[in-house]
A and B are shown apart, each in its own frame.
Chain A
Amino acid sequence: MATKLKSRKKIDQKRERGGKEPKYYEVFARKDSHSELAHVGSVEAPNDQLAQVRAWYIYDQHQWREMCVVPLEAIITVTEEGKSAKIKMA
């Protein structure tokens, strides 16, 4: 096959997955300007740009008017202070 990668797939977990532990982003979207911005899921990505693209293609069930991603580490829990927010994986 002409377009298969010639070398074996090697993944640098730390660099390519965002650190020792995978880095997660929460995805929020709204269908139209009347709808609320709602949580639609999560994505794993090593940086903001890849999180944006991965979220866009994974959660493509609607033609979203607006979509945004928030790093999980940026979420400050209120009811369970000190614990990490719970995520819903795609």
Chain B
Amino acid sequence: MVYTPGNPGSKLDENFENDLLAIADTKLVLGNWYAECTMNGRSLPDFAAILGMCTANYGHTRAIYQYLAAHGHEYDHVERGRGPEEICSSNLLDEAPSGWEDFIVSTWLAELSTWMLASGFLNHEDRAVAGIAKKIGQETYFHLKYAHGWFQIIGEGKTQSKLFQSAFAVRFPLSLQWFGPTRGKDPLHAAGIRDVPLKKLRDAFIKEVAKAETLLGSALEHDKSIKFAKDWRSDARRFGPMPDSLFEVVRFKDPGLAH
């Protein structure tokens, strides 16, 4: 497919760009998680499902990158030219999964949080943005269902449930942190670019997470008050740079393959 860069003169709101990049970059890392962990699937059909979720996330990432490229950014730079300190992926996915339960917890929280933030643009005035958000929602429906299917299985095992709980205790605060401080500013909503306040999306995220308890058959213990690191960057929705070891996994290694 030939890529056309669009009109480089039309600039987007800076906060809007930041949010789009946070979603796209988190999905870039999430896609790589799926790619790396495919062979840890439980059967041949599981491999197909994980690979399907992998390519869907890459697709979301590239759709957003292309949208940014159509609004004054260099596509090659956005996709392949940024270093670990410039990639705005959620801290939730910085650490490799410690086991299958951790993999399910982390990918589920990443899918749900990115969808929540993207859903705020479903009514965006630009149909391209609204379309990307709608597509993310349609595909995330299956990704979340995959996690829900595993919750049932994990909930049937005592050891597995414990592993799930301990992974959740570590990953959930990181996913909640991605939404930013509860009383923080919400410039996108104030500017009318997102019609839903960030707080409402955050609350909806917490509510959706709690629904997993029914499938797991046990309560999820977590602290909703999040302490933010000193080097928290609200523009990138993360603290610190992406770890080098993770950057080595996600960085684009062969530009020739992109065409």
B-binding residues in A (CB < 8 A) = 1-7, 9, 11-12, 15-17, 22, 43-54, 56-58, 60, 90
Contact = CB atoms under 8 A, between A and B. Distances in A.
Q: A interface, by DSSP: helix, strand, loop or mixed? A: loop
A45 B149 CA distance: 9
A54 B49 contact: yes
A5 B153 contact: no
Contact of A50 (B36, B44, B53, B146): B146
Contacts, number: 107
A49 B37 contact: no
B145 A52 contact: yes
Q: B interface, by DSSP: helix, strand, loop or mixed? A: helix
Contacts of B4: none
Given A3-B37, A44-B45, A49 B100 contact: no
Contacts of B52: 56-57, 60
Given A2-B246, A44-B44, A46-B149, 14 more contacts: A1-B245, A1-B248, A2-B248, A3-B32, A3-B36, A3-B96, A5-B37, A5-B96, A5-B98, A12-B160, A47-B153, A50-B150, A53-B146, A56-B49
Given A43-B45, A56-B52, A49 B149 contact: yes
A78 to B, nearest CB: 28
B205 interface: no
Interface size class of B (residues with CB under 8 A): 35 or more
Given A15-B156, A47-B152, A5 B145 contact: no
A80 to B, nearest CB: 26
Contacts of A12: 157, 160
